[in-house]
């Protein structure tokens, strides 16, 4: 079996390490100077040091990573999500050096990683796309011309990247003029490229995505859809599978899923990936983008289908047979919901770094918690604030919600602010319980206003942390 370097950290590195161990590969984890006791290392067979204090010096440092690969005789790498997971040049470099990239081939990453290119490919493949610019827009007058053609509101969107960065909604010329350069700056800062698209903004939309799984023999399967409409700043915080909006409409479900497979086959896709769509109130759907990596929310698909997406992603990369032989082998049963647990203020939803001084769980049956939490862990501004994913699965959506409510009540993270109380408010809110929500949910329903924060508790926790630090000094 092979030596596989996990170029990531946190809960996704733990998830990958578990899959590698199950398949008999050697899981090699990374520790940096900024993370001296990362929790994922205990799941790895070996640990290697990647020198540096910042992401640029470590997880994004291609030269340093290539040196590690050579020094430790690495045969394959798994990038997780974020960092280098969708970096075409890194993938090409690995291919050139005959190192297996556990993800799609570099051509597929190139085709789907650029939103302008992927949109054109989707059009040619007969996949419906959101009306808007054919390619990137060079100037404000050009953007205004397109906005006039498709009609306001429009969405200014960075050509590269994802995760909700480089996106602004504009309802008139004044807002477009104000936001155009700001989106370009944010795109350049976040992704190293300032290209911008202009698209029609679909009112009261649902964010529907289809999980696909492909091998290197041309087989592409769908593992059904997820609904990811509850978002803040275009970033998901609650996901469900299957979609409550699609509900029992199996004809629509099949149409969306088969469209995703059609697109994946067009670009010669050969790994786990996600095709994202926006669906309007009229149930018409449009292609948004394709994420050429494992998704944060992959566990809910695993829960309803019984398919280990990460293990099959590894098997695909090594040219092995998948655990499934045909589309008929893939069925879904029950319902699964995921809450992203983040170190952030539950009301403002802004990152709130700090130190975890206590961590306990009291969960009902049917709960999965993918996390990297331990008492004494320091959550720093260097990394994404997500520290865990709480997943509840039940035979029906009602049962899943009931279990999730109990699990959130049984999750205790002491010492820093987390969005657990926001999730508690969401899963008890009538619109959510009925499955009646869109991507405007947080802005319109405002469950964050129902959150009661005990500020005295946080002050006490901060005092305890200060006392501990004083004792160390």
CATH of the domain at 40: 3.40.50.20
Task: Quote the pLDDT of residue 473.
Answer: 46
d(CA 75, CA 155): 42
Tokens 């302008």 map to which residue? 116
Q: What is the pLDDT of residue 471?
A: 55
Is residue 279 a contact partner of residue 245, using CB atoms and an 8 Å limit? yes
Query: For 395-466, where are the E strands, in sequence order?
Result: 411-414
Residues listed for the chain: 473
Indicate if 353 and 318 belong to the same structural domain.
yes
106 has pLDDT over 80: yes
Res 472: pLDDT: 45
* Shared domain check, 373 and 229: yes
Mean pLDDT in residue range 44-49 = 97
117 located within any domain: no
CA distances from 164 to 37, 159, 359, 425 (A): 30, 12, 30, 23
Where residue 386 sits, what CATH number does that domain have?
3.30.470.20
**Across the chain, what does the average pLDDT equal?**
93
Query: 220 and 182 share a domain?
Result: no
- Does the pLDDT of residue 124 top 80, yes or no? yes
- pLDDT bucket at 135, cuts 50 / 70 / 90: confident
Q: pLDDT band at residue 466, thresholds of 50, 70 and 90?
A: low
Q: What distance in Å separates the CA atoms of residue 291 and residue 278, rounded to the nearest whole number?
A: 14
Over residues 21-49, the mean pLDDT reads 94
- pLDDT tens digits, 238-274: 999 999 999 999 999 999 999 999 999 999 999 999 9
Answer whether residue 111 is part of any domain: no
Average pLDDT over residues 136-141: 95
d(CA 408, CA 451): 14
Radius of gyration for the chain, computed over Cα atoms and rounded to the nearest angstrom? 22
- 333 assigned to some structural domain: yes
- How far is it, in rounded angstroms, from Cα 273 to Cα 294? 6
Q: What pLDDT is stored for residue 163 in this prediction?
A: 65
Q: What is the pLDDT of residue 145?
A: 96
Average pLDDT over residues 367-395: 94
Lowest-confidence region among 181-195, 327-341, 446-460: 446-460
Residue 468 predicted with pLDDT over 80: no
pLDDT at 402 over 50: yes
Predicted confidence (pLDDT) at residue 9 exceeds the cutoff of 50: yes
pLDDT of residue 370: 98
Classify residue 94: in a domain, yes or no: yes
Q: What's the mean pLDDT in 455-465?
A: 51
What token pair was written down for 429?
A: 């809110």
Alpha carbon distance 281, 235 (integer Å): 21
Token output for 137: 């827009």
Do 34 and 62 fall into the same domain? yes
Convert the pLDDT of each residue in 67-101 to its tens digit: 999 999 999 999 999 999 999 999 999 999 999 99
Beta strand 76-78 pairing with 3-6: parallel
Position 66 in a domain: yes
Res 469: pLDDT: 45
Dist. CA 1–CA 3, nearest whole Å: 7
Q: According to the model, what pLDDT value does residue 165 have?
A: 79
Question: CA-CA distances (angstroms) from residue 154 to 80, 172, 195, 471?
Answer: 32, 8, 16, 55
If asked whether residues 190 and 214 sit together in one domain, one would say no
Which residue, of 83, 102, 121, is where some domain finishes? 102
Q: Whose CA is closest to 208, among 274, 111, 269, 293?
A: 274
State both tokens at 303. Answer: 């829960």
Residue 164 sits in a domain whose CATH number is: 3.30.1490.20
Domain range holding 21?
Answer: 3-102
Is residue 287's pLDDT more than 80? yes
What is the percentage of the chain residues whose pLDDT exceeds 70?
95
- Per the annotation, the verdict on 293 as an active-site residue is yes
Check whether residue 188 and residue 74 sit in a common domain: no
Out of 9, 232, 293, 397, the active site residue is 293
């Amino acid at each position: 079996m092979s030596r596989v370097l996990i170029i990531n950290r946190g809960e996704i590195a733990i998830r990958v390490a578990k899959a590698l161990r199950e398949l008999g590969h050697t899981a090699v984890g990374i520790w940096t100077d900024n993370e001296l006791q990362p929790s994922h290392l205990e799941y790895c067979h070996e640990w290697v040091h990647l020198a540096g204090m910042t992401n640029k010096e470590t997880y994004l440092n291609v030269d340093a990573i290539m040196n590690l690969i050579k020094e430790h005789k690495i045969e394959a790498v798994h990038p997780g999500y974020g960092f280098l997971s969708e970096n075409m040049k890194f993938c090409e470099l690995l291919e050139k050096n005959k190192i297996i990239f556990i993800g799609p081939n570099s051509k597929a990453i190139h085709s789907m990683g650029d939103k302008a290119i992927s949109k054109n490919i989707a059009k040619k493949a007969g996949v419906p796309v959101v009306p808007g610019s054919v390619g990137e827009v060079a100037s404000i007058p050009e953007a205004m011309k397109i906005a006039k053609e498709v009609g306001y509101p429009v969405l200014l969107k960075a050509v590269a990247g994802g995760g909700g960065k480089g996106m602004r909604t504009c309802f008139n010329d004044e807002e477009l003029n104000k936001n155009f350069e700001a989106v370009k700056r944010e795109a350049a800062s976040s992704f190293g490229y300032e290209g911008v698209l202009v698209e029609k903004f679909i009112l009261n939309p649902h964010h529907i995505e289809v999980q696909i799984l492909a091998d290197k023999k041309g087989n592409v399967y769908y593992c059904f859809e997820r609904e990811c409409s509850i978002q803040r700043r275009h970033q998901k915080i609650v996901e469900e599978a299957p979609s409550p909006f699609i509900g029992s409409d199996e004809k629509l479900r099949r149409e969306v899923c088969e469209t995703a497979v059609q697109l994946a086959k067009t670009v010669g896709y050969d790994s786990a990936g996600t095709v994202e769509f926006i669906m309007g109130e009229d149930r018409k759907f449009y292609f948004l983008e394709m994420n050429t990596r494992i998704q944060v929310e992959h566990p809910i698909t695993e829960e309803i289908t019984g398919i280990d997406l990460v293990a099959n992603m590894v098997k695909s990369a090594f040219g092995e047979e998948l655990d499934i032989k045909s589309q008929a082998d893939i069925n879904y049963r029950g319902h699964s919901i995921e809450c992203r647990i983040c170190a952030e203020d539950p009301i403002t939803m802004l990152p709130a770094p700090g130190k975890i001084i206590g961590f306990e769980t009291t969960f009902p049956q049917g709960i999965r918690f993918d996390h990297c939490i331990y008492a004494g862990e320091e959550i720093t501004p260097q990394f994404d604030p997500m520290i865990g994913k709480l997943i509840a699965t039940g035979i029906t959506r009602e049962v899943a919600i009931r279990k999730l409510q109990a699990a959130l009540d049984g999750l205790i993270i002491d010492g820093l602010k987390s969005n657990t109380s926001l999730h508690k408010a969401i899963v008890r809110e009538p619109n959510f319980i009925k499955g009646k929500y869109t991507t405007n949910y947080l802005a319109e329903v405002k469950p964050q206003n129902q959150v009661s924060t005990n500020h005295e508790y946080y002050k006490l926790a901060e005092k305890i942390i200060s006392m501990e630090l004083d004792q160390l000094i």
